[in-house]
Amino acid sequence: MKITSDMVTSCLESVIDPEIGVSVVDLGLIYDVRIDGERISVDMTLTSSGCPMAGLLAGSVEQALREAFDGAEVEVNVVWDPPWTPERMSPELRERFGFRRCG
């Protein structure tokens, strides 16, 4: 089975931020997915650098990928550039939380 970025993103929709109760994908925490054969690399961020859930979320992303893609090499990197902003959330989630674009 050839692993695709869409497959990885779909898998990560099941990873829920325990503080907010929505997926890391809808929150816009997944910045980049790279596939090289059986190697999956994911760059993700958090809503703030002081997030107490940092280890849990990154670990949950890694675990979900390992379970979905048995035998694949998985690397999850927490990055801070660019910083997360509410604009990264899905449009539905921004509306749910009352974020609107200005201008």
Per-residue pLDDT at 73 exceeds 70: yes
User: 58 or 53: whose pLDDT is higher?
Assistant: 58
2, HSE (Cβ side, Cα atoms, 13 Å): 1
Per residue in 33-46, pLDDT (tens digit) is: 999 999 999 999 99
How far is it, in rounded angstroms, from Cα 93 to Cα 23? 10
φ/ψ (deg, to 5) at 16: -105, 130
pLDDT in tens, 79-99: 999 999 999 999 999 888 888
What is the tens place of the pLDDT at every residue in 9-24?
999 999 999 888 999 9
Mean pLDDT, residues 4-12: 97
pTM of the model: 0.90
Backbone angles phi, psi at 96, to 5 degrees: -60, -40
Domains of the chain: 5-94 (3.30.300.130)
Strand 30-36 to 73-78 pairing: unpaired
